[in-house]
Structure formats: C-alpha cells, structure tokens
Amino acid sequence: PGRSASRRACPRSCAAPRDSGRRGVGRSRVTLLGAPLGPDAMSRMARALADAGGNIDRIVRLAKYPVTAIELDVSGVDPLELRRRLAPVAAACGADVAVQRAGLARRAKHLVVMDVDSTLIQDEVIELLAGHAGCLDEVARVTAEAMRGELDFAASLRARVALLEGLSAEVFTKVRAQVRYTPGARTLVRTLKRLGYQVGIVSGGFTQITDLLAADLELDYAAANTLEVVDGRLTGRVVGPIVDRPGKAAALREFAQAAGVALSETVAIGDGANDLDMLAAAGLGVAFNAKPVVRQQADTAVNVPFLDTILFLLGIPGDEIEELTEQTAGPRTATAAGARA
C-alpha cells in the first residue's frame, strides 16, 4: 500500500539563496529542535553552518511551541562533516540537531520501529515487576548498568528475571495499569498510521506487557521476550531466544521484510546500548533521551520529552500533526506540536 506521507508547501518557508553555484553540492536537510529554540542558539548554529562552508537554501518553521522545530535545506558541505560541526554547537546551546542527506531516500521512510522501555513508555517494565517482588533496588541497579552497556544484556536479563520467581501471573494486570506512555507517543503512532506508515515495537522486556501495548496502539509489529509462567506463577525464567542487542536488529530486519520495505526506508528509535545495532541497521537511527554511548553513535539524538518530535525529523509540520490529531478520537496528553493527543 502507498505509505508515503504527503507534503504541502508551508507558508512559513523562506529561501535564503547565497552562492548559488554551490547548490546541490553535499545537499542536507538539517532539523533544529529546542524547547524552546532561542535566537542566540539560532545565531550560533547559523554561524557554525557558515564556517563549515554551507549555504542555507531554504528555511521552514515546523513548530513553535512547546518544541521549536526549524528545518533547513543546506548545500555546499558534506552531511557527515556538517553533522560533526553542528553537533557540539547544538549541545552547547541545549538544542538538538539532526542532519540527513537530502533527496528521495530521506523522504522515503515507510516503517518506524521503537524500543519500549524509556522510549515508547516512561517506565522500565522489569522494574515495575521487581517492585511487586520486593527487589526493586537490585533490579534497577542492574538495569541501569545494562543500558549503559556495562553488562552483557542477556546475562543481566536472566539474573533479573530469576528474582521474579514465584510472582503471581496476576501481576501483569497490575503492571499494565502502572505503565505510562511517553508524552506524544499516541500522537506519533496515530499520525504515522494516518500517513500510511507501518509501526512496530521491539523490546528487551516482555510480551505479557508489549502485546497489550501493541493492541492498544494498533501497531503492526511487536517482538519481545516471554516470561515463563507455570501454574499461574512466574518461574524466574525466559522462554525462547533472548531479544538482546543483535535480536533487536534482527527484529527490525524481519519487520522490514514483512512490510516489503528496504532497511533504508526504516526509522529506529531507542535509548539504551542494546538498541545500538538496530539504530545502525535502520535508514535513520534516533537516540531518544538516550544514554551517552547511544547519543554518540546514533544518526541523530533527540533530548526533548515528547516522542512525537520524531515527526519533525520526517519533515511533518506541527500544523499537520494538529490537524490529524483533531480528526482522531482518543485520550489527550501533551505533544511536541502543542496539540493535546
């Protein structure tokens, strides 16, 4: 099915031609994000861009509040060099910058795959389970070390799951009620689906929760680990292969194959070290409020608290997001576009 998002001209766009002979050389699409993005940050970013030899051919404001999103068409400098120059300036300004190679490949994204814990949702499911088992502190410590890449994920998962032995399976209903979606999560999924994208989740967590989330959001794909339950109680073991760092990348490939799209047409979003292979395999890998090791290696990093900020990286303006949100019924929460969805 056709899944390309339509794009209409934005009345807030303006051209800033300079050195027209260099246009088309190293063409990039630069997205600047801030909450808010002040004039000083814009000035410093423009200065860094000029120092890199770049020419701003077009400027579009995608959103103003609570997240300011500005999109620039830039030529005259290689995208990788531009990213290297702009990233430290953005960090110093408390802003985010995404640099993507311009052209059809940038626009032809059809599948978005997200991590779950601390990405789609604000919580770590295994910590919620541990709270009911009375071992939260120990599990939280190991989880933090694993997400920073300091521990082998599969081994650390088995060790944490072992502490859950004996819990009643009724705990899943209690934990699902505790789970909090990240602000903008519903808006992100609804907007993508309305525009024809397919959406999936892949988690080092557990199918007993992720399947419920996938059903609630009407997602196309989901993959996670499964906790073993015997006679209504957790055994402290995981059934089947562990969905770890390589497993997440494998799931992305499986989803892409099922969707009939190339990996270059995918977007992956995550926050932990076990997301790195998935982010690297995708056409666009986004570190969302991520650990330092992930921010350093991902294609781009987003550090604002709204998950629907990802839509700006796809060039979807805030007014279109609001329009689609108003057409869709459902629970209302804060979003990056300023809508309530």
Q: Each residue of 153-172: pLDDT tens digit?
A: 999 999 999 999 999 999 99
**pTM of the predicted structure, to 2 decimals:** 0.86
At 101 the pLDDT is 87
Output the pLDDT for position 105. 60
Q: Which of 28-32, 219-223, 292-296, 316-320 has the highest mean pLDDT?
A: 219-223
User: In the prediction, which pLDDT does 4 show?
Assistant: 35
Give the model's pLDDT for residue 124. 95
Looking at per-residue confidence, does 3 or 260 come out higher?
260
Least confident span in 16-25, 40-49, 86-95, 201-210? 16-25
pLDDT reading at 82 higher than 60: yes
pLDDT for the residue 21: 42
What does the pLDDT read at residue 17? 40
Q: What is the mean pLDDT of residues 52-57?
A: 94
**Contacts (Cβ under 8 Å, ≥6 apart) of 135:** 163, 164
pLDDT of residue 120: 99
Mean pLDDT of the chain: 89
Nearest C-alpha neighbor of 28 from the set 285, 315, 267: 315
| pLDDT greater than 60 at residue 95 | yes
| Confidence bin at 18 (pLDDT 50/70/90) | very low
The pLDDT assigned to 174 comes to 98
- Residue 324 has a pLDDT of 82
Any idea which residues carry the catalytic annotation? 115, 117
pLDDT-based confidence at 303, cuts 50/70/90?
very high
Lowest mean pLDDT among 8-17, 86-95, 137-146: 8-17
In the chain the domains, ranked by start, together with CATH numbers, are 14-107 (3.30.70.260), 111-326 (3.40.50.1000)
Percent of the chain with pLDDT over 90: 76
Structure confidence at residue 26 as a pLDDT band (50, 70, 90):
confident
User: How distant, in Å, are the alpha carbons of 13, 240, 314 from that of 266?
Assistant: 27, 27, 11
Task: Say what the pLDDT of residue 272 is.
Answer: 94
Are residues 26 and 300 in contact, defined by beta-carbon separation less than 8 angstroms?
Answer: no
Higher pLDDT, 147 or 107: 147
Q: Which helix (H) or strand (E) holds 83?
A: helix 79-93
Contact 41, 34 (CB under 8 A): yes
Contact by Cβ (8 Å): 279, 297: yes
Q: How confident is the model at residue 19 (pLDDT cuts 50, 70, 90)?
A: very low
b/e 66-105 (16+ beta carbons within 10 angstroms → b): bbbbbbbbbbbbbbeebbebbbebbeebebbbbbbebeee
Cα 273 to Cα 276: distance, rounded to the nearest angstrom: 5
Q: Is the pLDDT of residue 296 over 80?
A: yes
If residue 302 lies in a helix (H) or strand (E), which one and from where to where? strand 300-302
Residue 328 binned pLDDT confidence (cut-offs 50, 70, 90): low
The closest of 33, 23, 29 to 7, measured between CA atoms, is: 29
> Is a pLDDT exceeding 60 seen at residue 20?
no
pLDDT above 90: residue 24? no
Q: Give kind and range of the element (H or E) at residue 313.
A: helix 310-313
The residue among 171 and 336 whose pLDDT is bigger is: 171
Residue 210 phi/psi, 5° resolution? -65, -35
Query: Dihedral angle at the C-alpha atoms of 228, 234, 235, 237, nearest 10 degrees?
Result: 50
Contact at 8 Å (CB) between 206 and 119? Answer: no
